[in-house]
Amino acid sequence: MQRAPRAEVIATRRMGAFRHHTLVAPDIADRARPGQMVSVAIGGPASALVSRRTLPIAAASPSGTYGGTVDVIVDPGLDAGMAWLGDLRAHDEVAMIGPVGRAYPLPTSGVDVLVVGVGASAAPVGWLAAHLRDRGCRVDLTLAGPDDRHLVGVIEARRIAGSVTVLTGADPELGADLAARVRTQLRTSEIAVVYAAGRARHLAPVVEVARPFGVVVQCCVDEDMPCGTGLCGSCEIPVRADDGMRHTIRGCTEGAVLRGDRVDWAALAEELG
């Protein structure tokens, strides 16, 4: 088996409860687009084949002083593997593959869009908003999390988006507040597309409130993806085709960006427990 390329951490900083890493990865940076991910080996070479974490790419710079770089945001509180990633420091190296999965589809012309991100899953939304703005889109951005320490990029977002809304609170109230905010935005604005990034429990209500408005929600479903290659089959997502038939796709290779109205959210919630 071909070994995964090594990526060096060249900068790291605390971001509230999260850790923001910049890694040198020219091949990934050249091809990465908002919504795609990287898969990182945990614990060094001894565990690289059995322990990985797949993270949304927060930004990619194809060129620079160190060559192409990739930014990721780590939530050390999720599990021991994420805590290990959060402890990385400058000049540490990890085995990293990517870009993994599908990117967000961008509109061909400038339209009004709503971008929603929850917790560390919101890593790509600032990068996405910048791409949308470059397409001539008006971007309204909503960032949510359990508290202020679990929000991503609020200050940076205010430089990019037309408006920024911040929501904090514990589940399930946070999901209900998020859905209510999206409903208000769709009712009072000419939103053509909703882009969302989060866990399934937060994405499902957003898709549900958008349905009566006929607005497509492009979702980056940030659930556990143990291998990032599609081989383990642990990140299957139930979806429905145009003919109504249900089948499963692999989140890491055929997602993680999916049309929200194609996902069987009830079945996915049951699988996730």
- Within a 10 A sphere around the Cβ of 235, how many other Cβ atoms? 24
pLDDT at residue 2, as a whole number? 46
Instruction: List Cβ neighbours of 73 (8 Å cut-off, separation of 6 or more).
Output: 15, 18, 19, 20, 21, 55, 56, 58, 120, 123, 152
pLDDT at residue 1, as a whole number? 38
Residue from 272, 186, 216, 218 nearest 35 by CA = 218
pTM for the structure as a whole: 0.94
Q: What is the distance between the alpha carbons of residues 31 and 53, in angstroms, rounded to a whole number?
A: 20
Instruction: List Cβ neighbours of 122 (8 Å cut-off, separation of 6 or more).
Output: 143, 144, 145, 151, 152, 153, 197, 198
Q: What is the distance between the alpha carbons of residues 253 and 230, in angstroms, rounded to a whole number?
A: 6
Q: What is the distance between the alpha carbons of residues 18 and 74, in angstroms, rounded to a whole number?
A: 6
pLDDT at residue 178, as a whole number? 95
Q: Are 265 and 200 in contact (CB under 8 A)?
A: yes
Geometric angle at alpha carbon 159, from 154 and 163, rounded to 5°: 70
Stretches where the chain sits below pLDDT 50 are: 1-2, 49
